[in-house]
A and B are shown apart, each in its own frame.
Chain A
Amino acid sequence: MATVSDAAPPPRSSMLGVRLREAGWGYAFVAVPIAVFGLFFIYPFGYAVYISFFHWGILGKQAGGSGTFNYSKVLHDPIFHTALKNVAEYTLGVVPLTMALGLSLALVINQKIRGRNFFRSAFYFPSIASSVAITTIALYIFNSDGLFNRIIGSQTPWFTTASKVTWAIVGLNTWTTSGTVMLYYLAGLQAISNDVYEAAALDNTSAWRTFWKITFPLLRPVHFFVLVVFGVGALKVFDQQFIVSGGAGGPNYSTYTPVLYIYRAAFSSFDFGLAAAAGVVYFVIIFAVTLVQNLTVGRREA
């Protein structure tokens, strides 16, 4: 291509003009998006760190100088520890369960059954429905005198018992997100060549063995993708706990998650400095988790 333009060079001044004009339009087209991203994403990143070093209230920076006091307060706050423990328990519960259910549904749907498109859509739909509405419906069905308790003959208030609520939300979100995970696994299953299965069939390998020895290892890229994306997503859980507890994080701090902690530090205690520090701390924690995932599961992946 370069040789073509070399062979017939256009007048230099007009070439420069064309380039300048193109660059001008380029800048014009990206100006607003870059302004939005700079103003509401990149700049806030630094501003959050700045705020975290001050006593900062609803009216702005307060007297008392700067320092790392917000960080030591977050790191020594038992409620923040509880929030971390809650989200760890939630994530370690919801991610494997979602992967298992998503993969099972994908395996079933991947067979030549009638109405597979219908079932695929039915399983996927809860993923895209409003989380507030889904959580509200779950509160109704798992209420102490709700449908679920009537069926199993109990009176347990699943979402208002401190020892049960994390697992109730695990169950709820396994239901809503396994449909999306199923779609990823379906794509993965369809990418596996038929030859592999034909070879296994010739060897008379049982379906169970074929799955564990062939299908499951070949789905490794999907496992990794789902683990990283849905793992980080689970660490950011907020809507469900907020709706369940009315934004209070109860009973007995059992629905406190780190994001809810940040929200409450800001809009219930009006301590923006503390909220910003918690945001930075939690960002670092999630970043570290992602890094560890990449270095362990991801390295074998590559």
Chain B
Amino acid sequence: MLQTSVATSAEPYIPGRARSEVIRKALAYAVVILVALIFFVPFVWTLITSFKTIPDSVNVSLIPHPWTTSAWRTIWTDYDFKRYIENSLFLAVVIVGCNLVLAGLGGYAFARLKFPGRELLFLLVLGTLMVPDQLRLIPVFVMLTNWHLIGNFSGYIFINLVTATNLFLMRQYFLTIPKDFEEAAKLDGAGYFKTFWRIMLPLALPAISTLVILQFQGTWNDFFWPLILFGQGSPSHYTVQLGLAELRFTYSTLWPQICAGSLIAILPVLAIFLAFQRYFVGGVVSAGVKG
């Protein structure tokens, strides 16, 4: 049956197919709009609640009554979010900077410079990806305790100075840059550091952007290590994520404040995402192709 219909003509089937195409499109729109709504409602609801009063926060109403900014003001003043934001931003900026320089230098060396043991050392870099946080948690905590680095920022910065993922990212990008650029620099008498700093690093701008954006997001969102290193009695070092958890544990019914705090914990990453979407999406997809 099917075979004959194909053989005789494709023409008569076009209206049918067009109709099914229309139905499929309509279904597709219905699905994406429905799912998008389910994805958006929680955020919108959180935003609305953050402008409500505490008694009003348990009402199902779209318009806050009365409308108030008190939650936003009090988490800033009474619940220390100003300090949490400063701490999170400080850590994120320092760690992004360190990763950029160290992963850049290391990635360049592994991609371009020849030295005995290079392959072995690179294997060690990849090996770090095999060591999960829950295994190194105890030894790292013990080591940092012995060095008096618990409860201050330097301990957290030390263990996050550079990640294998970032170093790998930079190395892979440097491998794609033609060698002509460096050879020209060498003919001009530039040393290795100058070649790296003046020639290679500017050429690696796409990889640098990815590193900066993803590392900022990672450090800003990090909960596990700040909890381990600052959660044992160092509230002055709390990051936004830790402060938000603390707010929720201590004042479990202050929903307007909790909602405002949640939005603060999300907003910087949302802003970066809206501005640099393609780096997020591109990073994920390239990892997928590799896999």
Mark A residues whose CB is within 8 Å of B: 19, 21-27, 29-30, 32-34, 36-45, 47-48, 51, 56, 58, 60, 104-105, 108-109, 111, 113, 115, 119-126, 128-134, 136-141, 145, 147, 150-151, 175, 180, 183-184, 186-188, 191, 202-204, 207, 221-222, 225, 229, 236, 238-239, 242-243, 246-247, 258-259, 262-263, 266-267, 272, 275-276, 279-280, 282-283, 286
Contacts and interface: CB of A to CB of B under 8 A. Distances in A.
Contact of A42 (B36, B131, B285): B131
Contacts of A125: 39, 270, 273
Contacts of B20: 207
Contact of B132 (A39, A247, A286): A286
Nearest to A183: B284
A109 B223 contact: no
Interface string B1-42: 010011000000100000010001100110110011011111
A175 B131 contact: no
Given A25-B109, A266-B138, A109 B284 contact: no
B103 interface: yes
B33 to A, nearest CB: 8
A228 to B, nearest CB: 8
Pick the most buried of B46, B102, B159, B245: most chain A CB atoms within 10 A of its CB: B245
27 contacts: A25-B191, A33-B106, A36-B159, A37-B125, A45-B139, A51-B138, A51-B142, A104-B31, A108-B28, A113-B29, A121-B281, A122-B39, A122-B40, A129-B270, A130-B244, A133-B265, A140-B259, A150-B60, A151-B60, A175-B39, A183-B288, A184-B285, A188-B288, A203-B6, A204-B6, A225-B291, A243-B248
A128 B269 contact: yes
Contacts of B176: none
B135 A279 contact: yes
B124 interface: yes
Nearest to A274: B138
Contacts of B167: 33
A297 B194 CA distance: 48
Given A25-B192, A204-B6, A129 B269 contact: yes
Interface string B209-225: 00000000100110110
Interface in B256-290: 258-259, 261-263, 265-266, 269-270, 273, 277, 280-281, 284-285, 288-289
B284 to A, nearest CB: 5
A28 B17 CA distance: 65
A280 B29 contact: no
Contact of B248 (A25, A26, A136, A259): A136
Contact of A275 (B5, B6, B137, B145): B137
Given A25-B109, A180-B284, A266 B137 contact: yes
Nearest to B117: A27
A69 B265 CA distance: 42
Pick the most buried of B60, B132, B240, B259: most chain A CB atoms within 10 A of its CB: B132
Given A137-B262, A243-B248, A266-B141, A279 B134 contact: yes
Given A36-B161, A140-B255, A266-B141, A133 B136 contact: no
A123 B40 CA distance: 9
Interface of B: 2, 5-6, 13, 20, 24-25, 28-29, 31-32, 35-36, 38-43, 45-46, 49, 58, 60, 102-103, 105-106, 108-110, 113-116, 118, 121, 124-125, 127-128, 131-143, 145-146, 158-159, 161-162, 164, 167, 191-193, 196, 217, 220-221, 223-224, 227-228, 231-232, 240-241, 244-245, 248-249, 255, 258-259, 261-263, 265-266, 269-270, 273, 277, 280-281, 284-285, 288-289, 291
Contact of A113 (B32, B132, B140, B240): B32
B63 to A, nearest CB: 15
Contacts of B164: 37, 41
Contacts of A139: 248
Given A130-B269, A239-B224, A279-B135, 15 more contacts: A25-B191, A29-B109, A41-B136, A51-B142, A60-B142, A108-B28, A125-B273, A128-B273, A133-B266, A140-B258, A191-B289, A259-B134, A262-B138, A272-B141, A283-B134
